[in-house]
Structure 1
């Protein structure tokens, strides 16, 4: 979940808080009204996103400079022309009041994408990985698609892009890296080769250094680098196996 913190008060901000509370990837951890915020308190909560009322900008500008070290800043105001100064200050996005749900979704899609790309902020990832996430499905990053992790059969690196094969057979090309994918996926989606991540729950056969997935005839190689970890995981589910046995 992406931890969100609000600075400012008013009915417009309350409406945005409600949008955060409804979002599947967002969590409202706390807020601060008017006046100078106590930095130590905010640092302790480690918010990944700060939603800031633009009217507070001058009052807390120095504090925001420090908070930007680990948090993405989203400015909000009633005046659209404030957007220029917001981006000049280093904000990740700007939204004008009243914030509509569609505009909020665009903002959160950007935040989720930054989280997947593992920028300097947004680095907290659930231990179990993400249950769903957005991928870039065009080279310019303008189109994103929501993927449910449990629907992935395998992920294959092909030249400068990645091919996701879903359980029911659909395929999606995306322009994230294998490393980005691996860091954010649940533990049942494991790397078995420099070019392959597979859904371990869908393995139907292992024959030497090759494996096959349910509903798919492709023989997937198990790279030398990944064999020990794969064998240990396989042996956990093999009757009579007490020790690790390598290929």
Structure 2
């Protein structure tokens, strides 16, 4: 039985697509529904689904970044982008290796997409190189103009409330009910969940490297790789190293 994952940060749109898929392809198993790019990449690496429906704009990793990393994490997974892009970008998506669904998704368009997916699954072929080329051609989506990225945060360090510039953050890490903020000067705690931070950080500056960790790209000194495909990051202004989940290592191949 074929299976898929859905990645869409808007709950209503995510549930609507799941419902449409169940109606159009009852035997398709939805292995996982994801709210952001990091969760989607983890799901792809865990389930190795036949199909991944990826929204382009998601917190943390965008759909293009997830798709490029998925080419290594699960080479057999077919990628279908769900996008609100203009026609020029859609022409780039409309290639043999990839299909797209334009928001709002219609039942008729979904049927055509699923027909292409079924044919591709029957042929048993996918072209990860074409996907990587596309990811390079289409640059990362810019943050929404209406949603300016965070420039500073307030966090607790003992009895002190600190004002921390985002540029000074080395990394964020989920810590129980809190989020730990690490800077060159020390650590503090936020009550804001990591998932909420993902929606407000500049994706050109911060990168998710693990389900529980977001790093400032400007604070990376070097990338360490071992023979198993796992990795770690050495930091410029902190003595510890940060573990990088195996599927996320693909995002650092050029470093």
Q: TM-score, normalised by structure 2?
A: 0.41
Which structure has the larger Rg over C-alpha atoms?
1
Q: TM-score, normalised by structure 1?
A: 0.42
- Using CA pairs below 8 Å that are at least 6 residues apart, which structure has the higher relative contact order? 2
